[in-house]
Amino acid sequence: MDRPGDAATAVRAAASGTMRLDIISIFPEYFAPLDVSLIGKARERGILDVRVHQLRDWAHDVHKTVDDTPYGGGPGMVMKPEVWGEAVDVVAGGGTPRMIVPTPSGRPFTQELAQELAAEPWLLFACGRYEGIDARVMREYGARLRVDELSIGDYVLAGGEVAVLVMVEAIGRLLPGVLGNAVSAVDDSFAPGAMRNLLEGPVYTKPPVWRGHEVPAVLLSGHHGKVARWRRDEALRRTVANRPELAAGLDPETLDKRDREVLDELAFRVGPEDMAN
Ligand code: JFH
């Protein structure tokens, strides 16, 4: 297998459009997992070109300071704009990567956004720590680049690094040639399209009985129509149990008679929320 710097890899990059990912962080060690598994293989194949940068390389004082106290008071520290400015200027160079800044106050990172980002040639991820990055950094680069402040969920991490790992994995598996089975990525629960708003049901493999637990007989029947119907029943049940807000948003027009039976058994009502009380 050839290496990302090889001539063969450079040729493939130019021909098939390698995605370049730059990541700026004070903890580059966080990104060791990008050397393994799906993303590691994509890098070996020349599909992904990942470059991790130490933010402190652009801090000039003896202590390599990247943070300072917040204007207006309050707890914690804020990342200084000058260090970020030098880092992004050098990493972006004269180019125009799409800049992604994880933050708990960003717009949601969704499967739809992962698909949109998977079509970009170059992404630059800026990982904050402490209470975040001085807002003028996003203002400055928002005038030159497309800047997205994104949240991976409603909980507070200690910094942007883990959010970037999540986003890189979600985006990376959508790139052509990354997944062994090219069709699996388009069939995801949250992919925009037919099965949107329905979670996946349970899955099983051999043996048919394990510690006394049987695989549902319908899956061994070879009856494709019955299997599809059973899977949809299970998907509906699981969606009602785990994500009632998704189930409530199902379009009644997309529900057949059997769907309505399953939902009736669960005493679940589809449609706009009742605002009458
Ligand atoms: C990040 C951190 C902000 C401020 C009340 C709630 C938050 C701590 C950089 C993304 C998601 C993150 C995330 C991303 C980047 C950074 C820690 C930020 C505050 C006020 C406290 C620093 C967190 N989806 N969750 N977390 N932090 N508080």
Q: Which of 9, 17, 40, 30 is nearest to 125 (CA)?
A: 30
Neighbours of 186 (CB within 10 A): 10
Which residue among the candidates 28, 70, 104, 216 is catalytic per the annotation?
A: 104
Rounded distance, CA 97 to CA 16, Å? 18
Which burial class, exposed, middle or buried, applies to 117 when counting CB atoms under 10 A from its CB (0-12, 13-18, 19+)?
A: buried
Q: How many angstroms does the Cα of residue 95 sit away from the middle of ligand 1?
A: 28
Model pLDDT for residues 211-270, shown as the tens digit of each residue: 999 999 999 999 999 999 999 999 999 999 999 999 999 999 999 999 999 999 999 999
6 tagged catalytic: no
Residue corresponding to tokens 């680069």: 141
Q: How many angstroms does the Cα of residue 108 sit away from the middle of ligand 1?
A: 14
Model pLDDT for residues 147-203, shown as the tens digit of each residue: 999 999 999 999 999 999 999 999 999 999 999 755 567 657 566 544 568 999 999
User: ∠ at Cα 37 (159, 148), nearest 5°?
Assistant: 35
188 tagged catalytic: yes
Is 152 near ligand 1, meaning CB less than 6 Å away? yes
Q: For 45-122, where are the alpha helices, taking DSSP H only?
A: 81-92, 111-118
Name which residue sits closest to atom 19 of ligand 1, judged by CA: 131
Task: Provide the whole-model pTM.
Answer: 0.92
Longest dimension (CA), the chain: 71
Is 203 near ligand 1, meaning CB less than 6 Å away? no
